[in-house]
Structure 1
């Protein structure tokens, strides 16, 4: 056909998808996922970089990519499961057609279907009232504030995060909440001998609040706000909203603002197009 395959066995696999009478947008989705997978492996997987042989891939190689989706791109369970399904069907095809001798996704499982809806972005436009809402826990409001500035839960719960947080560009209502938060956290920081932002209320060895500990604040406030406060979903919706609101920014501008590598930015661009549609 005179073109270079975007991923191994692209032509025969996509011919197979056509024979299965899949819709063209679905086939394009497969192509996007598999192109992204092999681009990631080419850039970050030492074993695959050595010879680019798909037959040498193991479950841990695919797991490395899936872990990146969760930890760096903060994908939802629904997106994760869909991408794993596409990858699984691809490797199943290669295995059943004797193109590979083992099936690297056989043991990989999808994530629970507890929250598969598209993330809402409405909360981002209600931030002044949310940050001023005294009924909400201070840690809940801080989580929403940091998520709206494109920080992941793994970032803002990491000790030392306070040193990299730049509050100079906080808006007026964000500065007002930040002052309230300072009044709350300073006595706790003194008691716990830590300048970090999320601290336990009680003295208990490690003073840092865990993800499970933060969840205990977020869960009750979900009922008050009426939407999911899962930090990964908040982060994802903040990214999507920014892309939708700023369609004219260049890739470099977006990468700097959102702190995303080119692959992750491309992923979110595609997700934003789906969301817009």
Structure 2
């Protein structure tokens, strides 16, 4: 793996060490993203690091400052917090083993307990009209609910040119009215980026398309309003369960065709639908 620039101290050596241990490239990319974000945060907000950008001066309170920001400003879940802490821990152990830092600042920082998963809400599609009209929810949150209620996986919706192939003229009037109102919000962004897609960043970017992590930054705060998980994968499960409960007599073949399911997954979702209260 060739690195053109250093996004954080000792990146080349650290990545070489990860690759020597046969760490998957996707995981290496996650380490790089975490450490780049960590050092970028320190450069802007941490007095210790700002003085001379020396990673070997960081101690436990400096790392805790960053982790606290993740919880308060970004509202990351415990699972994400623990993964980031693990990345930092591996990095600082690597530096310590090479005598590039005298400290192990993550040594005394504890991981967060695993959060209990919320039960899947399969009623939300029945209340879609109310959610679309709730202007306390961000436009992207409501758009996510609308698209998933039509069976679209959010990864598909975030791809460039998704809207070019989307047909909405036969959607209910309330949904078409929401899209008309949504256009008032997204229109200026589309003009700025010269892009007709719907999920767009609100700041200048070479690629204007919102990423899945970027979308989560809108969805997660709105969970305080909905009181159920707005994770797109969980929403899709709720939609599938709702569909099966409304179509109990439909054949497996017809359900697979209607929901674009893999044939092997139909039994799993039928069991979820049967267990749903």
- TM class by shorter-chain length? 0.5 to 0.7
Report what 1:155 is aligned to.
156
Report what 1:184 is aligned to.
185
Report what 1:174 is aligned to.
175
Report what 1:215 is aligned to.
216
Change (3 A) 1:237 1:182: same
Where does structure 1 lack aligned partners over 5 or more consecutive residues?
1-59, 61-111
Report what 2:237 is aligned to.
236
Change (3 A) 1:164 1:121: same
1:223 positional shift: 0.7
Counterpart-to-counterpart distance in 2, 1:164 and 1:115: 39
Counterpart-to-counterpart distance in 2, 1:181 and 1:115: 34
- Please state whether the residue corresponding to 1:178 is helix, strand or coil: helix
Of structures 1 and 2, the one with the larger relative CO (CA 8 A, separation 6+) is 1
Change (3 A) 1:115 1:157: farther
Counterpart-to-counterpart distance in 2, 1:264 and 1:131: 30
Counterpart-to-counterpart distance in 2, 1:115 and 1:145: 27
Paired residues of 2:124 and 2:238 also in contact (CA < 8 A): no
1:61-80 to 2 correspondences below 5 Å: none
Are 1:120 and 2:121 counterparts? yes
Report what 2:133 is aligned to.
132
Counterpart-to-counterpart distance in 1, 2:200 and 2:237: 25
1:146 positional shift: 0.8
Root-mean-square deviation (Å): 1.9
Paired residues of 2:200 and 2:210 also in contact (CA < 8 A): yes
- Please state whether the residue corresponding to 1:180 is helix, strand or coil: helix
Where does structure 2 lack aligned partners over 5 or more consecutive residues?
1-23, 25-112
Q: Which moved more, 1:209-218 or 1:237-246?
A: 209-218
TM-score by length of 2: 0.56
1:177 positional shift: 0.5
Q: Which runs of 4+ in 1 moved over 6 A?
A: none
1:195-206 to 2 correspondences below 5 Å: 195-206=196-207
